[in-house]
Chains A and B, each alone.
Chain A
Amino acid sequence: MNGRVMSAIAGKDIADAIRNRYILFCLVLPLGLSLLFRVIMPSDEDLASLTVAILDPDGSRLVTQLREAEHVELIEVTSEEALIDALDEDAAGGLSVPSGFDAALEAGGQPELAAYINTRGGGFETQAFREFVERQIWSLIDQPEPASVRWSDVAELRGEPVREFDLDTHLLVMLLLMALAMTGAFAVPMLLVEEKEKNTLEVLLVSPARPADVVMGKALTGALYSVVIAGLLVVLNRGGWSGNVPVTALAITLGLLFTIGAGLLLGSLVRTTMQVNTWASIVMLLLILPGMIPGPEASRSLAIVLRLIPSYYLAESLKLALGGHTSGAAVWGNLGVLAAGTVAVFAVAVWTLRREIQ
């Protein structure tokens, strides 16, 4: 392969891609959606009223101050059972303040506060409850990090399986999948097929460019746009970063390689931009699907289907990495499956492209 030729092709495609209105739309859409979610996502101030169930046997100073908070309606209960009942009704979340909470604070200890999320209330309300707890409770106490919060799903209280859900992470994962799929599985085959359709591929093939240079030029263009858009999405959605940067970067890198491989394969199989529009839509939908359906919400049969889509492992890797969970078999297992899928799709793409171009 010739570096000068590859960079020339990538440079041309980078300039050409953003002048193609279909490609430009695909590049900008995830960023636009991200901004839209930022705008429409309700914060605690945006909610007319956030209902929170409180179990506070000692009548702590914390709850006294919470009663004065605006837009928050407290349901004060006296037992764990009543807390569960309140969460079963319409409370977005519950707080269980342990006995001796104030005394422990005054002694300089770090008492544990149990916060229960009611995922039945829907993603927006859950998120508002999380933000409410994270941003306001500790400022009311006026003491830096006075206590630790143990987050759990209300299902834990009910004795049901716990289903973790974080709307911020879910949206970010969905947008990242969308960005990678649109860049890799749409923009890349579009750039490749345009060369065939407009007969510019024959110009390249009588120039010093070899078929591998042409393919790598397209892949570089896709990779560059993927990195830029994924980076912007992460910045837009994670002002206060809480995940593991290297593992998130590794997952995004494997994801973009996989989607670019899928795009090259698609580009080798079709001949017209119209065909790219049709087939890429199906491929993109499949690739984005695992990011659209939160794991806990999927039925058993749907979960089995999702596991057949390689981007499921990208979505799972990203959820774990963005949540800071980067040790153990789960994250590396997901990344391993994704890496194997990437190698496989690239191998098939290279084989079909070689046949196609020669």
Chain B
Amino acid sequence: MSAIETENLVRSYNGVRAVDGLTFAVEEGEIFGFLGPNGAGKTTTIRMLTGQIRPTEGRAVVAGCDVVRERERLKPRIGVVFEHQNLYERLSGRENLRFSARLYGVPPGRIDDVLKEVRLEDRADDPVRRYSNGMKQRLLIARALLHRPEVLFLDEPTRGLDPTVAREIRHLIAGLAHEGATVFLTTHYMEEADQLSRRVAFLDRGRIVALDTPSRLKVAHGEKRLTGILETGDKITFSLGDPEDGRRLGELAGTGCIQTLHSAEATLEEVFIRLTGRSLTE
């Protein structure tokens, strides 16, 4: 069953289509990576799927609720981690969560559970303004998880974080998937999407240009080749579809002069460039 289904979803601003006819489905328990450069329409899509703005055309159903007609029924079924670290900084982490718990009618006992889940229990009573960026990000995830949403939207959850903290957050997201959560993840970090997502969609100028598992995308759009390093330190590449390269590989392997041999599949970044003609960081 699909946790998210969209059909020809469009959002226009002053006649310009920021999101242009998206049709896709996200299965329950899946981490779905939604990739694209800045301005591709990722956040606009999230805002439509979470009921913050109305689609100009098309329809979307999230957790069994139409995002326009059943907006109020949808709200308790979703959790959102926004791009900004939008917390009440004068309040403590626990007070932030207590406020959310009261909004959603969640028993207060759940607060300690999520604090433990994101490893913030020791600093829970400190004002949020004294938290590091990583701690704030963990608190944002705790807040989104507090009411046990059916679908979790993560908008650029590691943007601006240092690599160690970003790795921590990815670990946390991977843990959610392990527990069966449906996660809609937008990012422009390809490595992150590759590592976490079961499937990814490439978004460019409001349109999906590719949607599949990362490995299939890489196979379909990458070069089929092997790269070897010889005893001399020289690097050698073999195209897998080329009979001549196949013969050379056999000969060299027989002489024992190849030290290492590995596949050279394309990265998602390379696939994206190949499909759109531009980089994700543009």
User: Who on chain A is nearest to B80 by CB?
Assistant: A206
Least CB distance from A308 to B in Å reads 38
CB distance A206 to B75 under 8 Å?
yes
**B103 at interface, CB cutoff 8 A:** yes
User: Who on chain A is nearest to B85 by CB?
Assistant: A199
Cβ-defined partner of A200 (8 Å) among B76, B87, B104, B105? B87
CB distance A207 to B90 under 8 Å?
no
Contacting residues, chain B, for A202 (C-beta < 8 A): 52, 82, 86
A-B residue pairs in contact (CB < 8 Å), sample of 19: A5-B103, A8-B103, A9-B103, A11-B99, A11-B102, A12-B95, A12-B99, A16-B90, A19-B90, A200-B87, A200-B88, A206-B78, A206-B80, A207-B75, A207-B103, A208-B76, A208-B103, A208-B104, A210-B72
User: Who on chain A is nearest to B74 by CB?
Assistant: A206
**B100 at interface, CB cutoff 8 A:** yes
CB distance A4 to B102 under 8 Å?
yes
| Count of inter-chain pairs, beta carbons less than 8 A | 61
Least CB distance from B206 to A in Å reads 21
New A-B pairs, 11, CB < 8 Å, besides A12-B95, A16-B91, A203-B80: A4-B105, A12-B102, A198-B88, A198-B89, A202-B52, A203-B86, A204-B103, A205-B52, A206-B50, A206-B75, A208-B104
Contact size range, A: 20 to 34
Least CB distance from A212 to B in Å reads 12
A-side interface mostly: helix
Query: With A19-B90, A202-B82, A203-B86 in contact, do A209 and B103 touch (Cβ < 8 Å)?
Result: yes
CB distance B91 to A207 under 8 Å?
no
Least CB distance from A11 to B in Å reads 7
**A15 at interface, CB cutoff 8 A:** yes
Least CB distance from B90 to A in Å reads 4
Contacting residues, chain A, for B78 (C-beta < 8 A): 206
Distance between Cα atoms of A5 and B102 in the complex (Å): 7
Contacting residues, chain A, for B51 (C-beta < 8 A): 206
User: Who on chain A is nearest to B76 by CB?
Assistant: A208
A residues in contact (CB < 8 Å) with B: 4-5, 7-9, 11-12, 15-16, 19-20, 198-200, 202-210
B41-87 at interface with A (beta carbon < 8 Å)? 50-52, 72, 75-76, 78, 80, 82, 84, 86-87
Q: Which 5 residue pairs are nearest across A and B when measured between Cβ atoms?
A: A8-B102, A199-B86, A19-B90, A199-B84, A12-B99
Least CB distance from A268 to B in Å reads 18
Contacting residues, chain B, for A198 (C-beta < 8 A): 84, 86, 88-89
Contacting residues, chain B, for A208 (C-beta < 8 A): 72, 75-76, 103-105
Contacting residues, chain B, for A8 (C-beta < 8 A): 99, 102-103
Distance between Cα atoms of A208 and B78 in the complex (Å): 10
Distance between Cα atoms of A9 and B102 in the complex (Å): 9
Distance between Cα atoms of A19 and B88 in the complex (Å): 11
Least CB distance from B97 to A in Å reads 11
Contacting residues, chain A, for B91 (C-beta < 8 A): 12, 15-16, 19
User: Who on chain A is nearest to B129 by CB?
Assistant: A19
